[in-house]
Amino acid sequence: MHYTTGQPARADQPLNNTFGLTGVGKLIVDPTTLTFEGQRTGITFGGPPRIALADVANVDYNAATKAFLIRTRNGNHYIIVWTTSAEDAETLWALLPQEKTPEFKADQEHHDRFAKAMKVLGARSYVTPTIIAINLVVFIVMWLAGANLVNPNSEVHIRFGSNYGVLTWTGQKWRLLTSAFLHFGIVHIALNMYALLQGGALVERLFGSTRFALIYLLSALSGSIASGWLDPLRNSAGASGAIFGVYGALLAFMAVRRQDIPPSMLKSISSSAVLFCLYSLVIGWAHPLIDNACHVGGLLAGFVSGAILSRPFTPEARAVEQPARLAVAALVIALPLALLALSAERRLEGRLNQLDTLMRE
């Protein structure tokens, strides 16, 4: 049998099992145990992975592809295998437990309801691809204007509206928003747009396009203001603050509307979002050039606005627009941001006075 389809794996494609098994192998079935033999990735200890037959439940079998999804009863382990012949597939299916646990059945039914709701309420996302397109167009225009693809030209970024504190906090507040659509080089925009593509479409479908757009803009502003407050002399740009806000809103929805999400999906998505945020923040703290203040500011704004704007994932709830709730979300985020912006202006004045004193000395 095979532990992969035989097709070349994509870079972002996860393993088809929790044991790191790849390629061609064997499945040995005895009266009490399943033993999986084959090549494994990473560091391994002991012999081949084994699962007691008594711990196996909720197996899925696709006769057309001769594929099996074998799960443990507690859900801690899973493995997908492809048998090499239809005869082997039928033999294996007869040997495996056929039990479907009540929890698994309930989760599958919830998946079906969620999928139907997604087709009605979130069939397409419009804001996410529009934002990505705007970022790409701006990036190309800046490149043509002299911004380097690898080594950024700060003068070009400042001219196009980066969040340069000396200008932002002395009258050019519009830079707080325009900077969220500028990027320092090809790697910067590639990473940000990939992260936005991965999370944005789902979050937009969960909240609706209007609410998603508000969350994105509030998070972008929050990230820019937090960045300028921490270092008022910094020249910053990028969509990462807004993107952290997108993932913050996703976590808020999972917390506030957890009953609307199938349990297995809730666990998977929440874990992925938390790991993305933690990993990115740790990398940010380790690299001084990464604007972690922007990340934290965007994340907090996204979580708070997401908690306010979350609503039941049903057609009935979506039919009520609730403009007052949009206004509340905007005010709750805007008021502390206004105070933080005033503090940033004073911090800039203090820093400039310090520099002036040093130059005179």
What CA–CA distances, in Å, run from 187 to 118, 149, 192, 199?
A: 33, 8, 9, 19
What's the length of the chain?
361
**Which residue, 27, 12, 7, 11, is CA-closest to 79?**
27
Angle at 228 between CA 153 and CA 274, to 5 degrees: 95
Terminal-to-terminal C-alpha distance of the chain: 77
3-state class of 280 per DSSP? helix
Rounded Cα distance between 80 and 89, Å, is 13
240 in catalytic set: yes
Active-site residue, selected from the candidate residues 227, 240, 280, 310: 240
Active-site residue, selected from the candidate residues 2, 110, 183, 295: 295
DSSP string, 85-97: SHHHHHHHHHHS-
One-letter amino acid at 186 equals I
DSSP string, 191-213: HHHHHHHHHHHHHHHHH-HHHHH
264 in catalytic set: no
Region for 231 from its dihedrals, namely left if φ exceeds 0, alpha if ψ lies in -120 to 50, beta otherwise: beta
Q: What are phi and psi of 3, to 5 degrees?
A: -95, -5
Q: CB of 252 within 8 A of CB of 266?
A: no
231 CB-contact burial (10 Å; exposed 0-12 / middle 13-18 / buried 19+): middle
Rounded Cα distance between 284 and 290, Å, is 5
**Which residue, 215, 198, 235, 176, is CA-closest to 309?**
215
Rounded Cα distance between 334 and 339, Å, is 9
Q: Which residues are catalytic?
A: 240, 295
